[in-house]
Amino acid sequence: MEAIQHRMVNVNGITMHVAEKGQGPPVILFLHGFPELWYTWRHQMLALSSLGYHTVAPDLRGYGDTEAPSSVTSYTCLHIVGDLVELIDSLGVEQVFLVGHDWGAIIGWYLCLFRPDRVKAFLCLSVPFMPRNPEMKPVESMRLLFGEDYYICRFQEPGKIEAEIAQFGTSEVLKKIISSIKPGPFCLPKENAFGIDPNTPVTLPSWFPEEDLTYYANKFNKNGFTSPLNYYRAFDLNWELTAPWTDVKVKVPVKFIVGDLDSVYATPETKEYVQNGGFKTDVPLLDDEVVVMEGVGHFINQERPEEINSHIYDFIRNF
């Protein structure tokens, strides 16, 4: 794809696949989410590299061509942030501009929290900061708020959701996830988790052609879903490990962008937190303009690439 380069880097005891394009510094580090890969940033890498940035997008631990340790306990926020700090070291820079989406956003918040010295500014898509509640573990809290069928709760039992994915096939499940727009909590009913009906084919959105689906499906067919799902299975372990950071503010400049149809944002508690001051309290350097893009779902950087490219450039050019 227009001379995006690929290489393997040894970080934190694993081998990580990195895609990159452009010359720098400055460096923009892109972090993908679930169920995605470095490839989700293809549009941003091409656009921002042409403006003088060194764009870098790894497959995160357990994804794509990056090594996948077998234990759930190898997927904590400390492990992933450790991978990224060593990746930044390998790039020969002290700081990066950070862009994250979905799980990449969550990991981005942890990187900003643990090592703010390595992040010049953070453009966050979809998932706002989630302050630690010392009174209750997160999975228990989600179960109480949204019920047993809430997707994060459904992902907890090893092998269970993997078997359900295998029942319908990787391509069909990815197609359903990518094309789905369901404002409100994302739930997976036990009788048919992804709502797949063989008699009703799913049409891919125009911004995600068949060749993109094929790229994703080939990688997930090769490596399976267990390692990416282990991020969710380490939620409660992250809660235990981050007790020392309870009530610590994120002191990095941040710009937040979300689609109004994103199921994360459309959850009432999240929207209230973002809009009513809680977010700004926890992230004092949050840009005053939270961008809510109308008619846009979860996969915002692929659905509206030109607009996201512009937002990234307009934000980071100030630093």
Which residues form the catalytic set? 102, 232, 298
Beta strands 291-293; 96-101: pairing state:
unpaired
Other Cβ atoms within 10 Å of 207 Cβ, number: 13
Helical ranges in 127-169 per DSSP H: 138-146, 151-154, 160-168
Contact by Cβ (8 Å): 293, 300: yes
How many Å from the N-terminal Cα to the C-terminal Cα in the chain?
A: 29
Residue 200 has what DSSP assignment?
A: S
Could you give the CA distance from residue 255 to residue 315 in angstroms, rounded to a whole number?
7
Tokens for 155, please give them. Answer: 């992902």
Q: How far is CA 149 from CA 25, 143, 188, 233, in A?
A: 45, 8, 5, 15
Could you give the CA distance from residue 271 to residue 180 in angstroms, rounded to a whole number?
20
Other Cβ atoms within 10 Å of 164 Cβ, number: 17
Among 26, 243, 36, 16, CA closest to 126 = 36
